[in-house]
Amino acid sequence: MNAPVIRARGLTRRFGHFVAVDGIDLDVPRAQIYGFLGPNGSGKSTTIRMLCGLLTPSEGEVEVFGLHVPRDSEAVRLRVGYMTQKFSLYGDLSVAENLAFFAAVYLPSRAERERRVREVLKEFMLDEIRDRHAGALSGGQRQRLALATATLHSPELLILDEPTSAVDPQSRRDFWDTLFELAGRGTTILVSTHYMDEAERCHRLAILDRGRLVAEGVPRELAANIDATVLEIETADPLAARRALERRAGVKSVAQLGTRLHALLDRGIALPEQVARDWLRDAGLEGRVLRVEANLEDVFVAATGFGAERRQ
C-alpha cells in the first residue's frame, strides 16, 4: 500500500532532434492529488501521455500499479480514468447516451452499466440535463460530463490534462471540491495545470520547464525552500522602479501588483533590503522595502527562470 501508484525513472521523449521530456523521475503517492505545473510547451501533456501508455518513451521506464507501461498498458487502462484538456465526447449524443456508450466500453454487466450511469448522473449533477446534446452544454457542464465519463468504471488512478482551462472560476472551484472527495475515497489523481491557485491545492507538486523536472515537493515546503530572497516594494512610481530593478544583476524577477512590486533576488546578495533601497536611490526613487514569504508563483519563477533571466 506504501508503494507509489506511478513510478518513472529517466523518462525521456524525443521527436526527431527535439527533446520534449528529458530524464524525468517521478513517484506519485496513493490517494493524493499530484500536480504538474508548467508553462505551455514544458512537457506536461507529453509526460502524461507516456504515463497513460498512449506514447512510447524514447528512454526510461514507467510503472503504474507495479505494471510496466507500455507493455502492460491494457491491464493498466482498466484501472485508470483519463480526461483530456479538449472536450472529446460526442456532441451529437445526449449526456445519458455518452455515459451509456462509455459504460459499455468498461463495464461488462448491463445491470452494472445502468447502475453506474444513474450514480454519476446524480453525483455530477447531470440528471436535469441528461437528454441534452453534449455539444449544447456550457463549459462547466461539459467539464462535469467529461469527469463523470472518466470515473464511470471507478478508476484507482485519475489522470487529468489541464481539465479546467475552459471553465469559469466557480466551475473550477466546484471541480476541485469533487477531486478532493475522490481523493478522500482513495483515488489517486494526477492533474496538470498552469493555474497557480490550483497548483497550491495539490498535496504534492512537480514543476516542469522545457522538458525537465525543476522542482518537486509539497507546495508549502517548496515555498519555504525557494532559491531566492523575496522582497515587497512600495514606491510612488512603481513602473520606473521596476525598470530600474530589472536592469540589476542578481534580480531574478520583478512583478507589479497594483502599486506594489514583488521582486526576487539571488540568495547570495547580503542585506537585500538595503541593496534594493540603494538601487532605487540610484534611479532617483524612494521606496519601502520589506522581506516577505514566498508564494507558489515565486517558486515557479525561481525554478523556471521566468523573469529577468529569461528575457535576456
Residue with grid cell 469527469, as numbered in its chain: 147
| Strand 287-291 relative to strand 229-235, pairing | antiparallel
The dotted CATH code for 226-311 is 3.30.70.100
First-residue to last-residue Cα distance in the chain: 47
CA distances 208 to 194, 272, 277, Å, are 11, 29, 34
Domain ranges of the chain: 6-223, 226-311
pTM reported for the whole predicted model: 0.89
Domains 6-223 and 226-311 share a fold: no
Select 6-223's CATH number: 3.40.50.460, 3.30.1360.120, 3.40.50.300, 3.90.1010.10.
Answer: 3.40.50.300
**Run of H or E residues at 193:** strand 188-193
Contact 203, 34 (CB under 8 A): yes
Is the C-alpha dihedral spanning 79, 82, 88, 90 positive or negative? Answer: positive
Per-residue pLDDT tens digits of the chain, which is 312 residues long:
578 999 999 999 999 999 999 999 999 999 999 999 988 889 999 999 999 888 999 999 999 999 999 899 889 988 999 998 777 789 999 999 999 999 999 898 999 999 999 999 999 999 999 999 999 999 889 999 999 999 999 999 999 998 887 778 888 899 999 999 999 999 999 999 888 889 999 999 999 999 999 999 999 999 999 999 999 999 999 999 999 999 999 999 999 988 899 999 999 999 999 999 999 999 999 999 999 999 999 999 999 876 544 444
CA distance 242 to 116: 56
